[in-house]
Copies of this chain bind each other. A is one copy, B any other.
Amino acid sequence: MPPSQSPARLDSAEERRTRILDAAEACFVRHGFHRATMHDVAAEAGMSPGNLYRYFRSKDAIVAGLAERDRAAVAEDFSGIEAAPDLMQAFTGLARRHLAEAPAEKAVLCLEMWAEATRNPAMAAICRDFEREIAGRLTSLYRLAQDRADPPKAGADPEALARLAMVMADGIMVRRALSPDFATGPVIDAMLTLVGAALDGRFDPTTTPESDR
């Protein structure tokens, strides 16, 4: 007589949710949130349409669940960054992993989520929280890197620099989504060079531009 509920059951229910989310991701990348049908998702997940509703209340819930999952995965990857031995190397790895090595489908999904966020408050909240978390992590990473330098350098403002890096990252996402063969390497390198130089004061992008003087 097994005293606990079958863990296999619970496991498989959770597995089924992720299977549905995986299927939804594929469909949403192919057709977008609004043109992908529940039939498409069901077929991709290898089950009937009705059965989807045993695991998600609605189509919107699937969309939100998917966004939440991806957001959490990326945030997780950023989470321990302040503990890295070489901060800038860790940052470089993070940038390459998410902006170059990640499948281009992620960029498409990202665009889709952004577009949805402009009019769906739930999605807007997810995007906002995500952006805040990453901004916070990058800011403290940069601040830490400045403090740890041999003679502590006071270059550009870490917060402004984090905003700048994120804007560049967003731009890279757009380009990847639009032309899958876009060479992200040079642009990522430019971002890394810029951040590195700005952090230790060799070049400050937060001054007023020449053409205004």
A172 within 8 A of B: yes
Known contacts: A31-B119, A108-B118, A171-B167. The answer to whether A193 contacts B209 by CB under 8 A is yes
A 35-73 contacts with B by CB, 8 A: 35
Bound-state CA distance A210–B171 (Å) is 22
Contacts of A154 on B, CB cut-off 8 Å?
none
A 139-190 contacts with B by CB, 8 A: 160, 163-164, 166-175, 177-179, 186-187, 189-190
Contacts of A34 on B, CB cut-off 8 Å?
32, 34-35
Instruction: Count residues of A near B (Cβ-Cβ below 8 Å).
Output: 59
Selected from B89, B167, B186, B203, the residue in CB contact (under 8 A) with A172 is: B167
The complex is assembled from copies of this chain, and their number is: 2
A79 within 8 A of B: no
Selected from B128, B189, B211, the residue in CB contact (under 8 A) with A179 is: B128
A119 touching B192, Cβ below 8 Å: no
A5 within 8 A of B: no
Contacts of A208 on B, CB cut-off 8 Å?
189, 193
A101 within 8 A of B: no
Q: Smallest CB-CB separation from A210: which chain B residue? A: B196
Q: Smallest CB-CB separation from A200: which chain B residue? A: B210
A115 within 8 A of B: yes
Q: Would you give the 0/1 interface string for A105-123, flagging 1 where the beta carbon is closer than 8 Å to chain B? A: 0001001101111110000
Pairs A-B, 7 closest by C-beta atoms = A171-B171, A192-B209, A167-B171, A190-B205, A34-B34, A170-B171, A115-B115
Interface pairs (7), CB distance under 8 Å: A89-B211, A127-B178, A164-B186, A167-B168, A170-B174, A192-B209, A193-B209
